[in-house]
Amino acid sequence: MLSRSHLIRVAPARIQHRWFTSSCTNPHRLARIQPRTSLVTLGYSAKSSTPLNGSRIMFTRASSSIPPTSTSLSDNDKDSDPSTTPTTSTTPAGFQGYDIRWKEVKSPTISDYISIYLDLSKARLGALVTLTTMAGYAMTPMGASLPTLFALTTGTALCITSANAYNQFVEPPYDAQMSRTRNRILVRKAVSPLHAWSFATLTGLGGTALLAAAVNPLTAALGAANLVLYAAVYTPMKRVSIANTWVGAVVGAIPPMMGWAACTNSLDPEAWLLGLLLYAWQFPHFNSLAWNLRADYSKAGYRMMAVTDPKLNARVSLRYSLALIPLVTLAPYLDMTSWWFAVDGNIVNGVMLAGAANFWRKRDDKTARQLFFGSLIYLPVILALMMFHKKGKQDIVQEVGSLEQVSESGSAAQFKEEEDDDEYEYVDEDEEDEEEAHVAVKTA
């Protein structure tokens, strides 16, 4: 009798009722020993044993050593013979019916970690984005300070690394579905998700801190905002609405603005121009890429224009390719470059526009591919042209000097600029501020 009551008190609630009716014969005893004591915890939370919204499976109680009584609602669960718990059966739940070749996933060595971190950070893409940041810095009229440039590059690279790593942390099951991404680190289980998340957090914090300490707070704020925008807004939005492309374009536009702000600590019209240039460029770039992936996107549940509205997809890329023309023409107007940039910049624009128009007219894989590769070449070419035609401090001062027609102050200023250029490595923040004031006074 004692053993029976002990028995009943320990067994879990769901099975308990059956045990009662089958084993207990005395109804009075039944009523008296109705247990209200706490149940043995079976090592899993109640939350996770409830059926999940949208899924048609109810989890087998993998943790319990007592046979589960939960009924499954899905066909895939018929393999879970109540007494084979996934903890010791050879095949994980749902993976029956095909020839599994098991391989050991060994702990990575140091050299493995290098390639892992490069993959997590999407190194090639990150390098291109860092280049746009450096281009933004290079376009500033002030002399470059190498320490600032180095800090800017490293800080931005760390922020981009963090953003990409967060993105990969969130997306393994989706990445597994698409051929472009199925060899990523977390899809291959080469490192644990915790490791990827920690890497992302550390690089994000480090990058922002470096920018705040060694560059300026504005750049750090932009970097942090970009990171949040990419990881927490763009990444989930990819599965919710086609507006994600516009958010993603903003993510691409911010780095050159960071580069500019690193030097001037303000977002001047020139910075906005650079940002708008990158923003407009994103559309032909991304829309053409998405076109060739639309089958994968549809299957994996990504909401992209290429799937939901192919005509809009091509139209938007054409629209923004057209927008590149006034933007390129605006650069010399803002005194960033000489007017030659408007000439050869627009020639390059014309080529891009032709590709976008082709894609808009034909909308097939070949034109999409051509536009995509064209956009990949376009960006470094236009940035290189911009830097080539950049108006240096000397040019601005010369113009001003000739306008004022005070040759002495003009030549004195020229002499001063040359002197400063020789010693640009040693320019510190205070001197730069003085120079800013100098130039501001002269151009006023």
Partner 1 sequence: MNTLQRSSLSTARSCRRFATSASTSASKASTEDTSTKKRERESLDPALNTHKFLAGNPHPVSNLRPVKYPVPTNESAEDRSLREQRERVDAFNQNFWVNNNNMFNKAKAEYEDKIRAQNGGVAATTEELSVFYKDFLDKAYERQMNYNRQWWIENIGLLWPSAKSVVRKWTSK
Of residues 368-427, which lie at the interface with partner 1 (CB under 8 A)?
A: none
Q: Which is nearer to partner 1, 32 or 101 (CB)?
A: 101
Within residues 57-86, the interface with partner 1 by CB under 8 A covers: 57, 59, 62-63, 65-67, 74, 76, 81, 83-86
- Tell me how far, at minimum, the Cβ of 349 lies from partner 1, in Å: 28
d(Cα 357, Cα 63) in Å, to the nearest integer?
Answer: 59
Whether the Cβ atoms of residue 264 and residue 327 lie closer than 8 Å to each other:
no
Rule CB under 8 A: say whether 307 interacts with partner 1: yes
Whether the Cβ atoms of residue 156 and residue 255 lie closer than 8 Å to each other:
yes
Structure tokens at 106: 């060994």
Q: Which of 16, 70, 154, 177 binds partner 1 (CB under 8 A)?
A: 177
Structure tokens at 94: 């749902």
Q: Which is nearer to partner 1, 197 or 246 (CB)?
A: 197
d(Cα 179, Cα 183) in Å, to the nearest integer?
Answer: 8
Q: Which is nearer to partner 1, 192 or 411 (CB)?
A: 192
Within residues 339-368, the interface with partner 1 by CB under 8 A covers: 363-365
- Tell me how far, at minimum, the Cβ of 176 lies from partner 1, in Å: 5
Beta strands in 135-272 (DSSP E): none
Q: Which is nearer to partner 1, 65 or 402 (CB)?
A: 65
Q: Which is nearer to partner 1, 234 or 341 (CB)?
A: 234
- Tell me how far, at minimum, the Cβ of 179 lies from partner 1, in Å: 9
- Tell me how far, at minimum, the Cβ of 16 lies from partner 1, in Å: 11
Q: What are phi and psi of 390, to 5 degrees?
A: -65, 140
CB neighbours of residue 98 within 10 Å: 7
Rule CB under 8 A: say whether 246 interacts with partner 1: no
- Taking contact as CB under 8 A, which single stretch among the options 114-122, 301-309, 349-357, 388-396 is the one that binds partner 1? 301-309
Q: Which is nearer to partner 1, 237 or 427 (CB)?
A: 237
User: Which of 275-279's residues contact partners 24+ apart within 8 Å by CB, and which partners?
Assistant: 276/327, 277/324, 277/327, 277/328, 277/382, 278/132, 278/249, 278/252, 278/253, 279/249, 279/250, 279/252, 279/253
Q: Which is nearer to partner 1, 230 or 378 (CB)?
A: 230
Q: Which is nearer to partner 1, 195 or 389 (CB)?
A: 195
Virtual CA dihedral for 241, 246, 248, 249, nearest 10 degrees? 170
Rule CB under 8 A: say whether 236 interacts with partner 1: yes
User: Which of 397-400's residues contact partners 24+ apart within 8 Å by CB, and which partners?
Assistant: 397/439, 397/442, 400/442, 400/443
Within residues 89-118, the interface with partner 1 by CB under 8 A covers: 89-95, 98-106
Q: Which of 22, 71, 87, 109 binds partner 1 (CB under 8 A)?
A: 87
Within residues 258-297, the interface with partner 1 by CB under 8 A covers: 294-295, 297
CB neighbours of residue 12 within 10 Å: 15
Rule CB under 8 A: say whether 154 interacts with partner 1: no
Report helix, strand or coil for 390. strand
Site mask for partner 1 (CB under 8 A), range 181-200, x = bound: -x----xxx--xxx--x---
6's enclosing H/E stretch is helix 2-10
Structure tokens at 435: 């120079």
- Tell me how far, at minimum, the Cβ of 161 lies from partner 1, in Å: 19
Rule CB under 8 A: say whether 46 interacts with partner 1: no
Contacts of 282 (CB under 8 A, 6+ apart): 245, 248, 249, 252, 253, 320
Q: Which of 14, 17, 39, 44 binds partner 1 (CB under 8 A)?
A: 44
- Tell me how far, at minimum, the Cβ of 416 lies from partner 1, in Å: 57
Q: Among 205, 182, 183, 179, which residue's Cα sits nearest to residue 116?
A: 183
